[in-house]
Amino acid sequence: MNINYIKTQGSDSNISIIFNRGSVNELKEEYGYTHLLEHCLLEMFRLEKDCTLQAYTEFDHVEFDFLIFQNSGDDIYINIFDNIKRIFIEEHITEAVLRQAKKEVLNEIKKFNPRKKMTSEFSEIISAGNVKRIPLGEKASIENVSIEKIEAFKKKFWDNCKILLLAVTEIDYASFVSFIPNVIMKLRVITIKFL
Ligand SMILES: [Zn+2]
């Protein structure tokens, strides 16, 4: 594991967790599963009130951006890492979560018009260029995903990914690192930026 400690300037307090697997890693029969998994995980996060989360699926990575409001305590960092550990290692995707995630993804597919200029709303496909299979996925493959298939895909995703962690935060480096659960520390590559 590498930890690169880069001092930086800025006033935002946020954490981005980037998994180095995207739609290019999908098998033919898994088309759109990365994007669907991203929506399942979004449903599974239970974050503190003073933190908002956005996520994007790209060809080569999935990114979760946590925006933390100022004056929130250090608990928020612990909460984020606990969530990562829980949703990937301890909990399974439920039928209710999958149903909701499918609904959201199918809605995005329905709204997507490749001839229209892309907006930030479709950041999943901004980097799509002229590649035929876009990270968004397609109706048939998403509709047919079973709970067993997406759960197996989640496991494969986690087992094969490395995490890049980018943090811009006002707390000191040693405390921040101490919040990261061992299970993530042990296996992943982490880069941290500090104020
Ligand atoms: Zn989406």
- In this predicted model, what pLDDT tens digit does every residue of 120-161 receive, in sequence order? 445 555 555 545 678 899 999 999 999 999 999 999 999 998
Mean model confidence pLDDT for the chain: 83
Whole-number Å distance between alpha carbons of 51 and 28 = 36
Q: What is the whole-number distance in angstroms between the Cα of residue 31 and the centre of ligand 1?
A: 14
Whole-number Å distance between alpha carbons of 47 and 67 = 11
Over residues 42-72, the pLDDT tens digits come to 999 999 878 899 999 998 899 999 988 766 6
In the chain, which residue ranges form alpha helices assigned H by DSSP? 33-44, 75-85, 95-111, 139-143, 147-160, 173-179, 182-187
Residue 87 in this model has a pLDDT that exceeds 90: yes
The residue ranking higher by pLDDT, 195 or 68, is 68
Domain boundaries, the chain: 3-194
Q: What is the whole-number distance in angstroms between the Cα of residue 136 and the centre of ligand 1?
A: 7
Q: Stretch 105-122: mean pLDDT, rounded?
A: 72
Q: What is the whole-number distance in angstroms between the Cα of residue 46 and the centre of ligand 1?
A: 18
Cross-sheet strand order for the sheet of 62-68: 51-57, 62-68, 14-19, 163-168
Q: For tokens 């690192």, name the residue.
A: 177
Q: What is the whole-number distance in angstroms between the Cα of residue 3 and the centre of ligand 1?
A: 30
pLDDT the model gives residue 96: 98
Q: Which CATH class is domain 3-194?
A: alpha beta
This prediction has a pTM of 0.85
Whole-number Å distance between alpha carbons of 64 and 78 = 16
Residue 185 Cα distances to 63, 64, 119, 135, 138, angstroms: 18, 18, 36, 28, 35
Name the pairing type of β-strands 62-68 and 3-7: unpaired
Beta bridge partners of 65: 16, 54
